[in-house]
């Protein structure tokens, strides 16, 4: 694969040349030249087919979200990525819940995402696993979320991101 900068012959060229060479222009102005890929004899496994299906869903989400959510454009600014690329990656990366702890009557949650955690829901369960209380946590600053609990019990935390990915974690502890 050749990488070309500032060449009069190929400047601005993209796509196929004949049926052999492929030209791709990158956002930083470079042009990449390579042979045309040949997928004619490729046989996909079930896992690959499932991934293709998920990728189609991700692409549909990213097309819409890149236009509708300004945060994706903000994160892409100054990088080689587009808002579409950032939204596409966000679709594949669910939030991570790092820590849940009781601080007096407050449940404090530390959750992160590659773009942004959009919300956190806390459910308090009794010893039998029945819901005794449930509500939305409030962002306390940065990656910390807080929920004012009225009951003690085990904690089920759900965190979701802009792409709708949900992570669920249960902590078996009371106040």
pLDDT, mean over the chain: 90
Q: What is the pTM of this model?
A: 0.75
Phi, psi of 28 (to 5 degrees): -85, 5
The Cα 112–Cα 120 span in angstroms is 11
* Domain locations in the chain as residue ranges: 2-35, 46-92, 96-171
The Cα 8–Cα 142 span in angstroms is 49
Q: Cβ of 21: how many Cβ atoms within 10 Å?
A: 15
Say which residues have a Cβ less than 8 Å from residue 14's Cβ, sequence separation at least 6: 23, 24, 25, 31
Region 114-136: mean pLDDT is: 93
What DSSP designation does 17 have? E
CB of 98 closer than 8 Å to CB of 145? no
Pick from 160, 61, 79: nearest CA to 112: 160
66: Cα separation from own chain's centroid: 13
pLDDT of residue 4: 64
Confidence of residue 67 (pLDDT cuts 50, 70, 90): very high
Confidence of residue 143 (pLDDT cuts 50, 70, 90): very high
- If phi > 0 it is left, if psi is from -120 to 50 it is alpha, else beta; for residue 15 that is left
Asked if residue 12 has pLDDT above 80, the reply is: no
pLDDT tens-digit series, residues 89-103: 999 999 999 999 999
Specify the CATH class of 96-171 in words: mainly beta
pLDDT of residue 128: 85
Region 48-76: mean pLDDT is: 96
Residue with the bigger pLDDT between 107 and 27: it is 107
Residue with the bigger pLDDT between 48 and 11: it is 48
């Amino acid at each position: 694969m050749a990488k070309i900068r500032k060449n009069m012959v190929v400047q601005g060229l993209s796509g196929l040349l004949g049926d052999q060479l492929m030209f791709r222009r990158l956002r930083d102005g470079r042009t990449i030249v390579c042979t045309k890929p040949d997928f004619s004899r490729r046989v996909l496994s079930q896992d690959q087919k499932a991934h293709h299906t998920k990728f189609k869903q991700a692409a549909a989400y990213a097309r819409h979200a890149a236009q509708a959510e300004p945060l994706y454009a903000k994160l892409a600014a100054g990088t080689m990525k587009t808002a579409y690329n950032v939204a596409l990656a966000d679709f594949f990366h669910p939030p991570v819940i790092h820590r849940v702890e009781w601080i007096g009557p407050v449940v404090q949650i530390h959750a992160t995402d590659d773009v942004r955690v959009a919300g956190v829901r806390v459910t308090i369960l009794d010893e039998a696993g029945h819901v005794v209380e449930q509500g939305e946590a409030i962002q306390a600053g940065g990656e910390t979320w807080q929920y004012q609990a009225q009951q003690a019990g085990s904690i089920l935390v759900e965190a979701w991101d802009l792409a709708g990915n949900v992570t669920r974690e249960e902590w078996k502890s009371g106040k």
